[in-house]
Chains A and B, each alone.
Chain A
Amino acid sequence: MPKKEKKNEKVDEFIRPDGRKYDELRPYKIRAHILKNADGSAEIRLGGNWIIAAVYGPKEHFPKFEISQDRAILNCRYHMNPYSTSERKSPKPSRREIELSKVIRNALTQSVILDDFPEMSIDVFIEVAQAEGSTRVASITAASVALADAGIPMRDMVVGCSAGKYNGHIILDVGEIEDKEGEADLPIAIMPNLRKVVLLQMDGKMTHEEFKKAFDLALKGAMQLYEEQLNALKNILESMSTLGEGEINEKK
Chain B
Amino acid sequence: MKRVIALPGVSIHKGPAQKVDEKIIRDARGYVPSLVGVAQISGKSIDLIPYKDIYRPVKGDYVVGVVVGYAPNGWFIDIGSFVKAFLPAADVLNKRFDPRKDELSRYYKIGDVVGLYVSEVRRLGNILVTVKDVKKTKDKRLGKLTDYYIIKVWSTKLPRIIGKKGSMIKLLKEKLGGDLLIAQNGVILYKGPYEKFMVLNKIIALITAKTFATGLTEYVNDLINKMLEVNLDKKDEKEGDD
User: CB-CB < 8 A to B23: which residues of A?
Assistant: 153
- Is A181 close to B, CB under 8 A? no
User: CB-CB < 8 A to B214: which residues of A?
Assistant: 241
Name 7 interchain pairs, CB-CB below 8 A, sorted by A: A152-B35, A154-B34, A155-B34, A156-B32, A191-B9, A237-B36, A240-B213
A193 and B83 within 8 A (CB): no
B50 and A248 within 8 A (CB): no
CB within 8 Å: A-B pair count: 114
A237 and B51 within 8 A (CB): yes
B residues near A, CB below 8 A? 5, 7-11, 23, 25, 29, 32, 34-38, 50-54, 82-84, 123-125, 156, 202, 205-206, 209-216, 219, 223, 226-227, 230
Contacting B at CB under 8 A, from A221-235, are: 230, 233-234
User: CB-CB < 8 A to B52: which residues of A?
Assistant: 39-40, 149-151
- Is A117 close to B, CB under 8 A? yes
How many A residues touch B, CB cutoff 8 Å? 38
B124 and A120 within 8 A (CB): yes
- Is A157 close to B, CB under 8 A? yes
User: CB-CB < 8 A to A193: which residues of B?
Assistant: 9-11, 29, 32
| Most chain B CB atoms below 10 A, which of A39, A151, A191, A193 | A151
B9 and A194 within 8 A (CB): yes
A149-B36, A250-B227 known, 18 other contacts, Cβ within 8 Å: A60-B82, A119-B123, A120-B82, A151-B52, A151-B54, A156-B32, A157-B7, A194-B9, A237-B5, A237-B51, A240-B212, A241-B212, A243-B210, A243-B215, A248-B205, A248-B206, A250-B202, A250-B230
B212 and A154 within 8 A (CB): no
When C-beta atoms are compared, the residue in chain B nearest to A226 turns out to be: B9
Q: In the complex, A241 Cα to B215 Cα: how many Å?
A: 10
Contacting B at CB under 8 A, from A5-33, are: none
| Most chain A CB atoms below 10 A, which of B23, B53, B125, B206 | B125
User: CB-CB < 8 A to A148: which residues of B?
Assistant: 7-8, 35-36
When C-beta atoms are compared, the residue in chain A nearest to B220 turns out to be: A243
- Is A113 close to B, CB under 8 A? yes
A187 shortest CB reach to chain B, Å: 21
When C-beta atoms are compared, the residue in chain B nearest to A153 turns out to be: B34
A113 and B226 within 8 A (CB): no
Q: In the complex, A247 Cα to B205 Cα: how many Å?
A: 10
A residues near B, CB below 8 A? 39-40, 58-60, 113, 117-120, 148-157, 191-194, 230, 233-234, 236-237, 239-243, 247-248, 250-251
Q: Which listed residue, B7, B213, B226, touches A233 by the CB 8 Å rule? A: B7
When C-beta atoms are compared, the residue in chain A nearest to B126 turns out to be: A119
B50 shortest CB reach to chain A, Å: 6
A155 shortest CB reach to chain B, Å: 7
Q: Which listed residue, B25, B213, B226, B227, touches A241 by the CB 8 Å rule? A: B213
- Contact A243/B213 with A120-B124, A233-B36, A248-B202 known, Cβ cut-off 8 Å: yes
A236 and B51 within 8 A (CB): yes
User: CB-CB < 8 A to B11: which residues of A?
Assistant: 193
Q: In the complex, A181 Cα to B226 Cα: how many Å?
A: 64
B81 shortest CB reach to chain A, Å: 10
